[in-house]
Structure 1
């Protein structure tokens, strides 16, 4: 029954693409770790371009880097950035940000630094920790995943080709 669900089919195709990535497990794991690192930095909107650019420069797997960037997507980004901001704020010993009374350029400029400094510090901390953890996990999982044989889903009979009795 689940084989008729388009979302399940797309998820299976994504897993197949990941398993069939070309390159050694170490190259794929490095690309994935690079993508995770960039995905956890506050570069929302430029992450995929930055991942491909750095993967080309560092000669890593580009597709794995782009997959890793998707750790932050529109659904997870608010939670990830909030965690990174709070971590950076606590480690730097900063107070919570208060909204300025007037919306002048100078007030918004100071507000930007009060938000960006803890966010950047926290994101670098989490990016390093998570990319190392993903690399260590991927270097062990990828060789196993490349050996899996996933069978094709049976195709539905075309119209007019019903079951024969």
Structure 2
């Protein structure tokens, strides 16, 4: 196959490089920034895509961020590839603070509160909800009884507050990214166009045209 890797990486290495990419996160961010600047389209359409991706990382739809970002970018007439690249703002270094900010904002807006310690209780609720999901999956094929208590608690204490609370910080982050991106992308495209014109002029002079 044309796109198949020559080296088959073990799953452990794949997971390790997702947590800490080869070359470090600084190099990974530099690569994403480079790719964003070279995307085709107007600075505004690319920036709208970046807005969509940045906003999406504040939603609780883990595992579906690419899909959500693409839909939002499509609705905003933004660059979809820019939206997908911008979702990398959400990574193992940022997901915990993003989650805590979204949850605290959501509980504040809803007038509720997370029972117990926010950080420790959050992970325990994820774990217990996953346990219910697995138990209910097994119950489909066995005589086990399905349980929904932990999933209901997860929805009430985590998912819904996260969904509500992520809107405001998501809009703020997306807006900041949009207004920072437009002038940077415009300047890069202008500089690139000037270099291309200078190169074409030099080629014409050399050919005597």
Could you state the TM-score of these two structures normalised by the residue count of structure 1?
Answer: 0.71
2:34 equivalent to 1:16? yes
Aligned match of 1:159: none
Note the 1:2-41 alignment, pairs <5 A. Answer: 6=23, 12-41=30-59
1:118 corresponds to which of 154, 158, 161: 161
CA distance in 2, matches of 1:22, 1:138: 14
2:185 corresponds to which of 135, 142, 163: 142
What do the CA deviations read for 1:39-60 (whole angstroms, capped 9, x no partner)? 2111110001222244345432
1:64 corresponds to which of 68, 82, 98: 82
CA distance in 1, matches of 2:28, 2:93: 18
Aligned match of 2:99: 81
Q: How far off its partner does 1:147 sit?
A: 4.3
Aligned match of 1:94: 112
Match of 1:42, SS state, is coil
CA distance in 2, matches of 1:94, 1:9: 41
CA distance in 2, matches of 1:27, 1:146: 13
* Greater helix proportion: 2
Query: Structure 1: any 5+ residue segments left out of the alignment?
Result: 150-165
The question of whether the paired residues in 1 share the 8 Å contact of 2:48 and 2:73 is answered with no
Aligned match of 1:109: 152
CA distance in 1, matches of 2:27, 2:172: 32
The question of whether the paired residues in 2 share the 8 Å contact of 1:89 and 1:95 is answered with yes
CA distance in 1, matches of 2:161, 2:27: 40
Aligned match of 2:173: 130
Q: How many residues align?
A: 144
Q: Residues 63, 119 of structure 1: CA spacing in aligned structure 2 closer, same or farther, 3 A cutoff?
A: same
The question of whether the paired residues in 1 share the 8 Å contact of 2:60 and 2:162 is answered with yes
Match of 1:70, SS state, is helix
CA distance in 1, matches of 2:30, 2:65: 25
Runs of 4+ with >6 A deviation: none
